Amino acid sequence: MTENALRRELQRTERFLELVLETGRMNGSFVDTELRHTWVAKPTLGVSKEEIIGKTDAELFTDAVSGPVMEAKREAIETESHVEREFTSIHSSRQNRYRIAAEPIYDTDDKLEGAMCAAIDLSGQYQFLERTTDSVFTVDSDWNVTFWNERIAERTDIEPGEIVGENIWDVYEERIPTELKAQFRRVMETGEPAETEQYLPEPFGYWVEIRMFADDDGLSVYSREITERKEYEQQLESQRDTLDILNQVLRHDIRNDLQMVSGYADLIAEQLDEEDKAYVETIQKRAEHAVELTRTAREISEVLFADVSETGTEELQESLLSEVEDIRAANSDAVVTVDEPVPDVTVSADDMLPSVFRNLLKNAVLHNDKQVPEITVTIDERDDEIIVRVADNGPGIPDNQKEKIFGKGEKGLDSEGTGIGLYLVQTLVEGYGGSIEVEDNEPEGAVFSVTLPKAA
C-alpha cells in the first residue's frame, strides 16, 4: 500500500471512528502516559479540541468529572488492561451519570504509549426520575449510590451531594428497617423485582409503598408515602371489627328472645281450641322466620369479613345432600328429588358452600305457588368443573328480572324472603371462581345453574 493510500485509509478510519462516537453520543480520546490528551473526538462540556490537546482532564474539568476519568485511564496504563466503570458527578444540584472505558495503547515497537478512552453520558436515562413524583434512588452492584432524586432528598433530609458516590450502608443503614434491608439484598442477588409496604420508624414515622428492580448495573428503588391510606385502612378494619362484634351480640340476643317467644307460644297453644291455635301458629311461623333472618345475617357477615384470598376446598356430595335432607325435613309438603349418585368430587369453595345450596333450595320452595312444590336437583360433571342445577315448578322468573334478582335486597312480588339470599349465593359462587345463572324450566318454573371449578 502506498503512503497516500495508507494516509487515506487512516483518515477514513479516523472519520469512521468519529462518526461512531457522534452517532452513539460518545466521547473519545487518546492520552499519553502522563494522561495528557494527544487526540480527541467530539469534545464536550464547552471545551474545544485546541484547548484539550496537551492537557490533562484535571486541568480542564472539575474534580467530580476529572477524578474518575483519570483514575480509569491511569489504571488502564498501570495494569495494561481493559478498565470500565460508571460514576456520577453533581453540578449545581444536577446529577450527571457517565460510563467510561479505557485500554492501553502501544507504539510500533509495542512500547506502552498511553491509553485510549471512550465515555458516554447516561444522564438522559435518569432525567425522567427527576420528574416522577416518586422518591427514587439507584445503587450500583457494590451498593454505591449512583442517583438520588429531589423527592427522596426532601423526604430523608439527605442531599444528593452527601450520598451520591457513597456506599448506602455506610450512610443510611441505621435508618433502614432490618426486613427492608434483607429485601434489598434479596432483589439484588436474585434479580427478581419486589414490592412491599413498609412503616419507617422515627425519625420518619410514616408508611411507604416500595418497588425494587435489579439489573446488571445494580438496584433501583421507587417509593411513595401511603400513610393516609394506611390510616384509613386501619380505621376501616377497626370499624369492621366493631360491627362484627355488634352483629354477633345482636344475633345472640335476638335468637334468645325468639326462643322464649316460641316457648311461650307452645304453652299458650296447649290451652286454646283448634280455631284459636291458628293465631299461635302465625306467631311461631314468624318467630322461625326471624331466626332464619339471624342465620342469613351471620352468613352475610362471614362473607363480608372473610379473607377472600383464601378459598379452600369442599366436598360437593356432603355439602349438597345435607342441605337437601334439611329442606325435606322443614317442608314435608314439598317433593325434592336428586339425580343419583351425586359425584364424589372436591370443588374450590369454603365452609359457606352449604349456604349456596340451602338458599337455592329454600328459594325454590318459598317462591313456589303450587300446592305441592317440586324441586329437582341435577349434577353435570365436566373435566374441570361441576354444574349443579336446581329446578322448580313455580311461577318462573320474567326475563326482565333474571339479572336483577341477584341484586342486594331484591325481592319478588309478595315475597316473604329477606331479599339477600340470591345476592349471597352469587357473591359466594363468584368468590369461588364460579358463576350462577337462571333460565326458564319446562314446562314451567325456573332453573338455577351453579358452576363450580373442581379443586386442583
Average pLDDT over residues 63-82: 89
CATH number, position 342: 3.30.565.10
User: Count of domains in the chain?
Assistant: 4
Same domain for 451 and 318: yes
Average pLDDT over residues 107-112: 88
CB atoms within 10 A of CB 264: 12
Same domain for 419 and 402: yes
What end-to-end distance do the CA atoms of the chain give, in Å? 76
In this prediction, residue 325 carries a pLDDT of 93
CATH number, position 29: 3.30.450.20
Check: pTM over 0.85? Answer yes or no: no
**Residue 426, SS3 per DSSP:** helix
Q: How far apart are CA 450 and CA 390, in angstroms?
A: 8
pLDDT category of residue 415 using cuts at 50, 70 and 90: very low
In this prediction, residue 62 carries a pLDDT of 81
What average pLDDT does the chain have? 83
**Segment holding 201, helix H or strand E:** none
Average pLDDT over residues 152-172: 86
Whether the predicted pLDDT of 414 surpasses 60: no
DSSP sequence for 373-418: -EEEEEEEE-SSEEEEEEEE-SS---GGGTTGGGSTT---TT--S-
- Looking at residue 167, what DSSP letter applies? B
Same domain for 171 and 68: no
Same domain for 417 and 324: yes
- Type of residue numbered 79: T
Same domain for 290 and 262: yes
pLDDT category of residue 373 using cuts at 50, 70 and 90: very high
In this prediction, residue 35 carries a pLDDT of 93
Same domain for 86 and 142: no
Of 188, 207, 225, which closes a domain? 225
Q: Which three cell numbers stand for residue 238?
A: 377497626
Same domain for 164 and 212: yes
Lookup result for grid cell 342445577: 389
pLDDT category of residue 379 using cuts at 50, 70 and 90: very high
**Segment holding 242, helix H or strand E:** helix 227-269
Q: Which three cell numbers stand for residue 305?
A: 369479613
Q: How far apart are CA 396 and CA 373, in angstroms?
A: 13
In this prediction, residue 250 carries a pLDDT of 66
Same domain for 173 and 91: no
pLDDT category of residue 393 using cuts at 50, 70 and 90: very high
Q: Which residue has the higher pLDDT, 288 or 190?
A: 190
Lowest-confidence segment of 16-30, 31-45, 257-271, 353-367 by average pLDDT = 16-30
Q: Which residue has the higher pLDDT, 331 or 4?
A: 331
Residues 6+ apart with CB under 8 A from 236: none
Of 251, 283, 305, which closes a domain? 305
Whether the predicted pLDDT of 172 surpasses 90: no
The CA distances from residue 52 to 29, 112, 120, 179, 193, in Å, are 10, 22, 18, 50, 44
Q: Are 423 and 446 in contact (CB under 8 A)?
A: no
Per-residue pLDDT reduced to its tens digit, 117-154: 988 877 666 666 667 788 889 898 899 888 888 888 88
Q: Are 272 and 280 in contact (CB under 8 A)?
A: yes
Of 272, 305, 338, which closes a domain? 305
pLDDT over 90 percentage in the chain:
31
In this prediction, residue 418 carries a pLDDT of 43
Q: How far apart are CA 118 and CA 100, in angstroms?
A: 6
Same domain for 103 and 48: yes
DSSP sequence for 51-119: HHTT--GGGTS-HHHHHHHHHHHHHHHHHTS-EEEEEEEEETTEEEEEEEEEEEEE-TT--EEEEEEEE
Same domain for 441 and 320: yes
pLDDT over 70 percentage in the chain:
85
pLDDT category of residue 93 using cuts at 50, 70 and 90: low
Same domain for 282 and 323: no
Residue 114 domain boundaries: 3-121
Average pLDDT over residues 444-452: 95
pLDDT category of residue 419 using cuts at 50, 70 and 90: low
Q: How far apart are CA 394 and CA 420, in angstroms?
A: 20
Average pLDDT over residues 381-405: 91
Whether the predicted pLDDT of 412 surpasses 80: no
Q: Are 88 and 109 in contact (CB under 8 A)?
A: no
- Looking at residue 343, what DSSP letter applies? P
Same domain for 329 and 456: yes
pLDDT category of residue 24 using cuts at 50, 70 and 90: low
Q: Which residue has the higher pLDDT, 37 or 280?
A: 37
Average pLDDT over residues 433-452: 94
In this prediction, residue 108 carries a pLDDT of 84
Whether the predicted pLDDT of 254 surpasses 90: no
- Looking at residue 58, what DSSP letter applies? G
The CA distances from residue 384 to 258, 346, 347, in Å, are 45, 11, 9
Whether the predicted pLDDT of 324 surpasses 60: yes
**Segment holding 442, helix H or strand E:** none
In this prediction, residue 127 carries a pLDDT of 65
Whether the predicted pLDDT of 251 surpasses 80: no
Strands of 171-269, DSSP E = 194-200, 206-215, 218-225
Helix, strand counts (H, E) of the chain: 13, 17
- Type of residue numbered 371: Q
Whether the predicted pLDDT of 428 surpasses 80: yes
In this prediction, residue 99 carries a pLDDT of 82
Whether the predicted pLDDT of 297 surpasses 90: no
In this prediction, residue 189 carries a pLDDT of 93
Nearest to 187 by CA among 157, 160, 220: 220
Whether the predicted pLDDT of 411 surpasses 50: no
